[in-house]
Structure formats: structure tokens, C-alpha cells
Amino acid sequence: MAIEKCINEYSAGDVIFEEGSTGRELFVVLDGKVDIAKTDGASRTMIVSLGKGEFFGEMAVIDGSARSATAIAATPGTRVMRINHARFVYLVSQQPAFALMVMDALSKRLRASNLRNFGNATTS
């Protein structure tokens, strides 16, 4: 698949994916910013804002579960690259540094979530 077909551009406020939806893709921010938010009825709580080089959607690409949050383009001209499950598995198997980068991000995000939910509790 041509790399251009894996790149999408969004306007500020566009929803990239919604919490609870299914998906088997990871996204990498190429330009702009993406806000990750939890929804509760009509309200949204911002979890994190991601910029160039950062990624999101890794949990769904790994385990195929429903999206745990909503991803929203935060700036005009936000561009993201989609990495489907097959490409993700290939990258992990061929590029150990990529796998370590994903594990590092997952670990940091879990620790941050623990701090938000349980105060100073940490997981070792």
C-alpha cells in the first residue's frame, strides 16, 4: 500500500476515532496536535495532547478491543499516518526499537493513569 494512502488530514475539531469504536490501527502524528479525551455523556475530559512524532491507538492495534478514548484533531491541518495491524506486527518483528518505543509509551501512560486514579500509587 502506498504510504500516501495511509495519511489523513483533519481540521481542528474533527474526530479521528470515538471512544467505544472498534479499530485495528495505530496512528502517528505527522503534523499538528491531537487531543485524547474521555467522554461522559455530553462532557469530555482531556487526557493528553499529542504532537508531531507521538502516537495513539496502540491498545486497539495490540488487542483489538474497543477504543478507550476519543481522538480529536486539535489544530487545523493535523496530519496522521495510520498503521494497520499487519504493518504493526511487521514493524514490531523487524524493528525491536519500535517495539521498545511502544512498550515505553504504554508504561508511561499506565503510570500517568495510575497517578490520576490513585494519587501517588505506582506500578513496578
Domains and CATH numbers, the chain: 3-118 (2.60.120.10)
Give the pLDDT confidence of 1-58 residue by residue, as tens digits: 455 679 999 999 999 999 999 989 999 999 999 999 998 888 889 999 999 999 999 9
Residue 40: per-residue pLDDT: 84
Residue 116: per-residue pLDDT: 77
Give the pLDDT confidence of 60-75 residue by residue, as tens digits: 998 989 999 999 999 9
Give the pLDDT confidence of 1-11 residue by residue, as tens digits: 455 679 999 99
3-state SS, one letter per residue, for 26-89: EEEEEECCEEEEEEECCEEEEEEEECCCCEECHHHHHHCCCCCCEEEECCCCEEEEEEEHHHHH
Predicted TM-score of the model (pTM) = 0.84
